[in-house]
Amino acid sequence: MAKKYCCDEYTRLTGVSRRVFVRTGGLAMVSFGLAPCFMGRALGATASLQGRGKILVCVFQRGAVDGLSMVVPHGDREYYKARQNIAIEAPGRGSNRVIDLDGFFGLHPSLAPLQPWYEEGHLAIVHAVGSPDATRSHFDAQDYMETGTPGVKSTPDGWLNRLLAETAEAELGGPQALIRGLAVTQQEPLALSGPQASLAVGDLQQFLGGEGAPSQRARGTDRQMNAATDMAGSDMANERQVEQARRRTSGNQRQREMLASGFEALYGADERDIVLSTGSEALDAVAFLKTADPLRYQVANGAEYPNVGLGRQLRHVAQLIKADIGLEIAFADIEGWDTHRQQGSTQGPLANRLTEFGQALAAFARDLGDRMEDVVVLTMSEFGRTVEENGSRGTDHGHANACMVLGGQVNGGTVYGDWPGLSREQRYQGRDLAITTDFRDVFGEVADTHLSPANRDTLFPGHVLEPSNYKGLIKT
């Protein structure tokens, strides 16, 4: 059922989208144009690669989180003037108030699990960050952020796939891991789409025959795969189209049942049960993933993941990191941020989502323990929300937002970025938080200083990364 507090476009995106990715197996290749060396590599050779490397984990907050509620500028009086009903009370006594960070900014109280990481210097925040493109379309803005090319719809690959290409180039001459990029989402993210081989592993139960539409947006994989279906201008697939998509999956009932059980089923299945329609190219990857058997995984350090979407995704990522399979980039996402109506303050849809978000990130960091020295978590959202609340006690599509950077080598304990102010004359188009930091500069700095790509200039076509302008988010 569509969320009643979000817009029609977002409802369509979280159902069957205009571009439906027809999946043919539990491990869906982000690119079927795989170089023969990827799947042809012997597992024994890959085993020699096991070890601790640097890892980037991206978390996409799909739907446009309200950054002004997530990281509250309680020191700006205009914030409270603009939000009579949904503002978070200024720091003070009581649990339902802003958690002060530096006297000006503070965390939403639902993000209390992240406060220790900020205080210990492992969590950094960048505010007033976003895309220079003016679109307020979820569909376009997410694509622009994932390709790293705002305003350009023809980009054939994602920025994380280009990053994988550059880290591979940096390691040229040495062996490479079998699984370097992985998405733990139900559909493949555009950010990982491209010629570099990556895997998308998720729960396909709804898409393969369960009740309801997929809970994740089906990404535009027609750029990479002939198996994508064009919905011919329709935003919603009809019953006949859905049935056609289902029939394109394997007709083997045993395979369908195994796929429907999700991520854990891959570890208990016989490799012969997972053969894509394109052949047996996924078998090596499946067998290799079995080395991180989730059924035997024990969460460490007293971490408690929320037993829902993002918590489950990050738990899987932690498992694979600890398995030392050579993972370099992981991608997760969490929906439900499109709060046009009844957004709430310290209670309501936004507070509930922030609770899951904060608990999941904190559990992930606690679970990994000292492994966080090699890990950086980067959060993102397609755009922010309006400064003023609307007549439905919600917020509408805006411009700038806030993002977080979490890790053992993060220069945390600081809210980075120039604050533009919230008075009407300071706002973008008189209504939104203005951008003072391009998202590509944040993504690029994290990628460059943490993963050391061979050539930073290829990450964001048309945009030059200047190390002299880096904010110092990562210790070097």
Q: Where are the alpha helices (DSSP H) in 264-348?
A: 265-268, 283-289, 309-322
Rounded CA separation 281/370 (Å):
35
Rounded CA separation 106/67 (Å):
11
* Pairing relationship of beta strands 99-100 and 106-107 according to DSSP bridges: antiparallel
Taking every pair of Cα atoms in the chain, the longest distance, rounded to a whole number of angstroms, is 64
**Mutual orientation of helices 309-322 and 349-368 as an angle, nearest 10°?**
10
Domain boundaries, the chain: 27-207+262-469
Structure-block tokens of residue 417: 């970025």
Q: Which amino acid is at 191?
A: A
Task: Determine the pLDDT at residue 30.
Answer: 38
Q: What is the DSSP letter of 372?
A: G
SS (H, E, C) 378-442: EEECCCCEECCCCCCCCCCECCCEEEEEEECCECCCEEECCCCCCCHHHCECCCECCCCEEHHHH
Structure-block tokens of residue 377: 């978590």
Structure-block tokens of residue 108: 């939403």
Cβ-contact 184, 263 below 8 angstroms: yes
Q: Which residues pair with 335 in a beta bridge?
A: none
Rounded CA separation 359/196 (Å):
32
Sign of CA dihedral 3, 141, 74, 376: positive
Task: Determine the pLDDT at residue 264.
Answer: 52
Q: Which residues pair with 333 in a beta bridge?
A: 60
The angle subtended at Cα 45 by Cα 44 and Cα 50, nearest 5°, is 90
Tell me which H or E stretch contains 294.
none
* Pairing relationship of beta strands 123-130 and 414-416 according to DSSP bridges: parallel
Q: Which residues pair with 20 in a beta bridge?
A: 229
Rounded CA separation 431/388 (Å):
7
Q: How many other C-beta atoms can be found within 10 angstroms of the C-beta atom of residue 423? A: 13
Whole-model pTM over 0.85: no
Task: Determine the pLDDT at residue 42.
Answer: 33
Q: Per-residue DSSP letters for 69-137?
A: HHEE-TT-HHHHHH-TTTPPPPSSSSSSS-EESSSS-EE-GGGGGGHHHHHTT-EEEEEEEE-SS----
Residues 6+ apart with CB under 8 A from 12: 18, 235, 236
Residues 6+ apart with CB under 8 A from 323: 291, 292
Rounded CA separation 387/422 (Å):
7
- Among residues 352, 341, 236, 334, which one has the least CA distance to residue 6? 341
Structure-block tokens of residue 436: 């003072």
Which CATH number applies to 27-207+262-469: 3.40.140, 3.30.750, 3.40.720, 2.60.120? 3.40.720
The angle subtended at Cα 385 by Cα 126 and Cα 74, nearest 5°, is 60
Task: Determine the pLDDT at residue 300.
Answer: 96
Tell me which H or E stretch contains 228.
strand 228-230
Cβ-contact 404, 123 below 8 angstroms: yes
Rounded CA separation 335/342 (Å):
17
Task: Determine the pLDDT at residue 94.
Answer: 79
Task: Determine the pLDDT at residue 208.
Answer: 28
Q: What is the pLDDT along the chain (476 residues), one digit of tens a residue?
A: 444 667 776 565 554 332 223 233 334 433 333 333 333 333 333 434 445 699 999 999 999 999 999 999 999 999 999 999 999 999 998 789 999 999 999 999 999 999 999 999 999 999 999 999 999 999 999 999 999 999 999 999 999 999 999 998 877 655 567 789 999 987 889 999 999 988 888 642 332 233 333 333 333 333 332 222 222 233 333 443 333 334 333 333 444 444 444 445 545 554 444 333 233 334 555 556 665 565 678 999 999 999 999 999 999 899 989 988 889 999 999 999 999 999 999 999 999 999 999 999 999 999 999 999 999 999 999 999 999 999 999 999 999 999 999 999 999 999 999 999 999 999 999 999 999 999 999 999 999 999 999 999 999 999 999 999 999 999 98
- Among residues 166, 167, 150, 148, which one has the least CA distance to residue 158? 148
